[in-house]
Structure formats: structure tokens, C-alpha cells
Structure 1
Amino acid sequence: MTQTSCQEKTFPVTEANKIRVAKRAHYDEATVHAILDEGLIAQVGFVQDGNPIVLPMVYARIGDQLYIHGAKATRLLKQLKKGLPVCLNVTLVDGLVVGRSAFHHSMNFRSVNIHGTAKLVEDEQEKYDALVAVTDHLAPGRWDETRAMTTKEANATTVISVTIETAAAKVRSGMPIDDEEDYASDHWAGIVPITTAYGQPIDDARLKQGIPVADSIKALSNRR
């Protein structure tokens, strides 16, 4: 990782992560981390037996380490623990961009591509911390509201870490960019915002009577 003169950390630009449209490219750590922290699902890509595979995974970030987890029998985790190179993508969609021509329709979005090498987490404390982070990434504070993880559950779970070796964020915002002559046309153009909202919690049918909604879940529902 390199640093700018103002000490802001940036990721190196390589053939793997260079973004063609320079004005939408961001290689600084702050932008990359912000998108990762807001996202919920990472599309994890790797190659198995010469074939490309992409699977959606819940994840968490601790510093420059990303963590994913799952059952030991999962095909993805069986492959990744061998130390395979991987690419992870997280995308946040902020709006439809509707142009005066179909050609100039687009989306406002924030996305990040991560390249790194998958590694099996064998240290028990790191594994525990990663599972806490993954749970709290979905609902901050949720881990402490649940029963303790059993040894059997821990042994049945594989945790994979990916060090962020290179990263690039791509961000598109603003109105459509139409051909100059089209601005005088009678076709509507603009933005349709897209937001992610949490609904009101629904009790499990077998929930014991009198159990209130957990604080972490209340906090999600109250997000604006």
C-alpha cells in the first residue's frame, strides 16, 4: 500500500484493478472501507478446475482483512482454504439514471473490487473475532444478544481471511449525461433514487411469549 503526501493511504494501481474512467476511480483506503462497511453481500469469485465461479457471501472487515465463513463441507470454502487468489465485489446501488435516450441510461452506484489470496484461519482467537465481526456486520451488537457458540458449532465452521492486496472503488453519481442536442427534446430524464430500508421485525412463530425485540434489531428498524 502506498501513501499520498497528506498521509492518506491508497492502494496501488495495477492492471488488475485499474478503472478505465478515471473520474469514477477511487483507490483510497477510506472510500474502499466505507463501501465495504455499508455493504451486506460480497460476490466472491475464484477459479475451480479451470472454471470461473462467483458466489454471494456474508462478510466482515477487520482492518485490511476480509472474513467469510460457512460450513466445512461447502465447496467454496474447501477450495479457498487451499490459498487461492480471489476477487470480491461489493456494490451499492443508489439510483436509476434515466436519460433522454436509451443509450444514456445508467445507474448511480458505489462499488469496490478487492483482489487478494484466501487463507484458512487456524488461530482460534482470530476465528472467534471474525465470527463476531461477521455477525455484528449484519446487526451491530447482535453477537452479545445471542447464546454462546458451542464447540460443535465452531468446529463445523470454516473461516477464510482475505488480505486486501489491491482494491479499487468505482463511484457514479449525478444526472444523466445526454447528447447536447437531446437536451431540447420532450423526453423526460432524471434520477430515480434507490434506498435500502429495514422493515419492522416479525416474531418467529415459536418465540416464547414476552420476549421483546432485541436492541440490535430495533436499531436496524429505526435506521433512516
Structure 2
Amino acid sequence: MDSLLPENERTRHRRLRDQGSRVRADLDAILAAGFVCHVGVVVDGTPLVVPTVYGCDAGTLYFHGSVASRSLVAGVADEVCVTVTHVDGLVLARSLFEHGVNYRSAMVFGVPRAVTDPEEKLEGLRILSEHSAPGQWDYARRPSKKELAATVLLALSLDEASVKIRVGPPDDGDGPDVALGLWAGVLPLETRWGALQADPVLPAGIEPPEHLVRLSGDGR
């Protein structure tokens, strides 16, 4: 049986409840499918939404930035809302009112903690790196002490999250607008990696590693 996400006032689905999901596996799948999140936080009374990369383990979302980032530093002591969204297609109905989007979206709430333990920080950065480019952590140079000191790594529990998913055709297939004789359906949107583009100053003879070839359009 699938485990369920806890429900509270922030995570309860009030609108479009049929698109809501409390299945933990749906949250994990949405997070696994992306690597860019948006962190919403209030700094000095001003709401900010900051895009950054993330990575996940079984129960924690890690995201990072520069120590110079006021939004991330301020967010350590404040509530944040981290969102990840994937657009899967435009839903083109017979009326403009019924148009929509097929999507998968997750919102994670909580107070992040700054990762200060050196071993956890390195492990968190490894998780973050492997989340977006599996194999790159063991291929590229590891962060230096100076680079680690310049990096803020935040950890946010996945215990409080809200998930919504919309799939399928328009909802007006059994309504009066069918008589208009207009085409209706879905325009799918797919995201995929393209062919690798070498650094222009890369010396001749240095070939891309196999893990990047597999990940890229070159591997098809």
C-alpha cells in the first residue's frame, strides 16, 4: 500500500481536489523528474521567489546558493515554500474558459536548516550533483574548502508537502460546446537533453565521459 503524505491546513487541497494527490510516491516522482526549484521566502517584508537547483534523498530536499544570497541566508530561520513544476502539455478545449495545462506540481513547506557539518554538507552536495547529472560527482574535481565556505547548503524535510497532477483531455467533451464543431485535445510538451556541446577551448582528444553521453541526445 502506498504511503500517504500528512494533511494539514497548508497542504489540504481546497480547489480542484480531483487533481490533488496525497500519495508519497507521486511527490518522489515529481522531485526526481526535475532539478530546478523555486524557493519562496519573505526577506525584510518583501516576498522573494528564488530559482535554484536541488537534490533529494529519502526524506530531505537539499538546495544551495552563495553565502551572498540574502534570500537563502534569511530563509534559514524563516518558513519557506519550495515548488517544483513540470508542464506536460496545453489542454486546448472548445472554449477558452475550459483551456488548461497538464502538469505535475509539488509544494514543500517548512523551516530549512543550514547544513554546517562538513561530512553532511559534502554528502548533500553530492546528492544535489548526482540528482541533475548522475556520474559527474566522481568525474569532476570535488569542491575545495574555499568553495565549500562560499556555499550555503540548506536542508528541508519532505514531511509537509502538497501535490497536484492534471492529465488527460479537455473537460468539455460532454458539454454544449461540442456542437461548435471545433477541434479539441492536448498539445504535449516534452523536455529532453540535446547533443553535448564541447567547451570551445577544450583541447583536442578529450572526449566526454560515458555518463554524459548516455544522458545527452548523443546517447540515443
The C-alpha deviation readout for 1:12-47, integer Å capped at 9, x for no partner, is 211211122221111121110110010121111011
Aligned partner of residue 199 in structure 2, secondary structure = coil
Pairing partner for 2:82 from 79, 88, 93: 88
* Residues 115-153 of structure 1, C-alpha deviations (whole Å, 9 max, x = no match): 111111011111001111111111111111101221111
Match of 2:105 in 1: 111
Name the Cα RMSD after superposition.
1.4
Q: Residue 125 of structure 1 is aligned with which of 119, 130, 138?
A: 119
Does residue 72 (structure 1) correspond to residue 89 (structure 2)? The answer is no
- Find the aligned partners of 1:79 and 1:192 in 2 and give their Cα distance: 40
Q: Which residue pairs with 1:204 in the alignment?
A: 199
Counterparts of 1:86 and 1:215 in 2: how far apart (Å)?
Answer: 38
* Structure 2: runs of 5 or more not aligned: none
Match of 1:180 in 2: 175
Normalised by the size of structure 1, how large is the TM-score? 0.92
2:155 to 153, 156, 161: 161
1:77-129 per-position Cα deviation (integer Å, ceiling 9, x unaligned): 22123x21110110011111000011111010010111111111011111001
Note if contact 2:43-2:71 (Cα within 8 Å) is conserved in structure 1.
no
Residue 123 of structure 2 aligns with an amino acid whose one-letter code is D
Q: Is 1:24–2:19 an aligned residue pair?
A: yes
Moved more, 95-104 or 46-55: 46-55
Matched, 1:189 2:189: no
In structure 1, what is the equivalent of residue 47 of structure 2?
Answer: 52
Check whether the contact 1:80–1:120 (CA below 8 A) recurs between aligned residues: no
Three-state SS of the structure 2 residue aligned to 1:9 is coil
**Residue number in structure 2 paired with 1:135:** 129
Aligned position for 1:3: none
Question: Aligned partners of 2:200, 2:131: CA distance in 1, in Å?
Answer: 26
- Which residue is equivalent to 1:218? 213
| Alignment partners' CA distance in 2, 1:217 and 1:78 | 33
Q: Which moved more, 1:121-130 or 1:207-216?
A: 207-216
In the alignment, is the contact (CA less than 8 A) between 1:116 and 1:163 conserved in 2? Answer: yes
AA at the equivalent of 1:196: T
Look up the SS of the partner of 1:198 in the other structure: coil
**Partner in structure 1 of residue 38 of structure 2:** 43
Partners of 1:59 and 1:40 in 2: how far apart? 5
Letter in 2 for 1:200: A
Runs of at least 4 residues off by over 4 Å = none
Instruction: Classify the secondary structure of the residue corresponding to 1:10.
Output: coil
* Paired residue secondary structure (2:112): strand
